[in-house]
Amino acid sequence: MIRSLVLTLSLLATAASAARPAPLPKVAIVTSEGTITAVLEAKKAPITTANFLRYVDAHRFDGTTFYRAARSKSFAGRGLVQGGIDHNIPKSFLPIKHEPTSKTGLRHLDGTLSMARNEVGSAMGDFFITLGPAPDLDARGSYAGYAAFGHVLTGMNVAKRILAKPTFPGGWDIDTMNQTIRQPVKIITVKRIN
């Protein structure tokens, strides 16, 4: 009798742990300005999350930088900071399929992690963090938007310090003029924390 009770309890405990969903992955982005921790939406944005974690696990973000601070012209303290491999082809994996916010249900809110890209389907190893809501980055109508895939848990003060860094009139095109950080902020490592 006791043996069958122990076996039943053991089976129930095993079933309960198997039914529990796996926790969402978390990462620590360790920079020369401090650490930003984030949770990745692996269930809602599986392609984009897997891509980001591939760079993390291969240590391809280690030694890179946050190199862009795009400040809002309308709202002080808002904008985005961009970092990653900075278009370094030897560090890059192949581009991934675009996961628009219209499919994932995610939005560009304060502290959203999203993939940087040129054309739709060209995202590789560059990402950004929004400071303040950025609904213009969400997909709508024929506009594909950007692929949000996570959000900051702690370290928004670090992202704010990066956003405030002096910039100079460099940039890839007219839209990114004056957004290149004069002294880029070093990304020491990006690592999983669960």
Radius of gyration of the chain (CA): 19
Give me 154's structure tokens.
């702690």
Helices (H), the chain: 2-19, 46-57, 101-104, 156-163
Query: Residue 183's pLDDT is what?
Result: 96
Query: Residue 77's pLDDT is what?
Result: 87
What averages of pLDDT result for each successive group of 10 residues across the chain (194 residues)? 54 56 94 98 98 98 97 90 94 96 98 96 96 97 97 98 90 67 97 94
Alpha-carbon distance of 112 to 153, in angstroms, equals 10
Query: Residue 15's pLDDT is what?
Result: 53
Query: Residue 141's pLDDT is what?
Result: 95
Count of all residues that appear for the chain in the document: 194
Backbone φ, ψ for residue 87 (5° rounding): 60, 25
CB 41 within 8 A of CB 109: no
Alpha-carbon distance of 129 to 108, in angstroms, equals 9
Domain spans in the chain, listed from the N-terminal domain onward: 24-192
Query: Residue 175's pLDDT is what?
Result: 57
- The CATH topology of domain 24-192 is Cyclophilin (2.40.100)
Query: Residue 68's pLDDT is what?
Result: 95
**Three-class secondary structure of residue 142 per DSSP:** coil
CA distances (Å), 106 to each of 34, 135, 159, 163, 194, in order? 26, 11, 20, 23, 22
132: region left, alpha or beta (phi > 0 left; psi from -120 to 50 alpha) = left
Query: Residue 19's pLDDT is what?
Result: 61
CB 95 within 8 A of CB 120: no
Alpha-carbon distance of 84 to 91, in angstroms, equals 10
CB 171 within 8 A of CB 179: yes
